Amino acid sequence: MPSLPFGYQDKVLLSQYAVLDLWRLALRRGGKSHQLFAGSKIFEADLAKPQHRIDSASWLVFLRNCQQLQSPELPLLTATAWLQNPQLPLCQLIQHATNLRQALSAAWYFRHQLAPYLFVRLQHDAESIRLEFRAGIGLGAQQRLICELWFA
């Protein structure tokens, strides 16, 4: 019986969404590919494959390696790149929303596309609507960087 690359409980991410923009920006900030991917199961050649998936543990190792660059603007630049990425339909929808309510509603409707490592919960009352983000996996030391990425 062939072994599967992921278990049924594993969180998997599309590498083009989760890694590509951050990797490109980390290279511009002085990172080297072999250092950024060290210890992960991510390979540079796989980033060109549109449907290539990585497991969350590899992604967290990659984030840990990116954190070692000591580049405080990296999360903001990555979040901006994600928002302007034409391959991310949710980000395009949020960018072209006419008001904040429409953007938050779109984020809620497509919350499963945000990231499989985050759970999103909608809270609303008569005057406001809020999104609550909770970790779907143990984020460890990379939690700070992930929060900076998503709230930049």
Reduced to 3 states (helix: H, G, I; strand: E, B; else coil), residue 23 is helix
Element holding 85 (H helix, E strand): none
DSSP 99-141: SHHHHHHHHHHTHHHH-TTEEEEEEE-SS-EEEEEEESS--GG
70-107 CB burial, b ≥16 within 10 A, e <16: ebeebbebbbebbeebeebebbebbeeeeeeeeebbbb
Render each residue's pLDDT in the chain as its tens digit; 152 residues: 455 555 545 556 666 666 888 888 889 888 899 999 999 888 888 888 877 888 878 888 888 898 888 888 887 787 777 777 777 777 777 778 888 888 878 777 776 666 666 666 777 788 887 777 777 666 777 777 776 776 65
Token readout for 140 is: 């460890």
Look at residues 64, 84, 68, 71 and name the one whose alpha carbon lies nearest to residue 142: 64
Token readout for 45 is: 């050649």
Model confidence, pTM: 0.69
Backbone angles phi, psi at 71, to 5 degrees: -115, 100
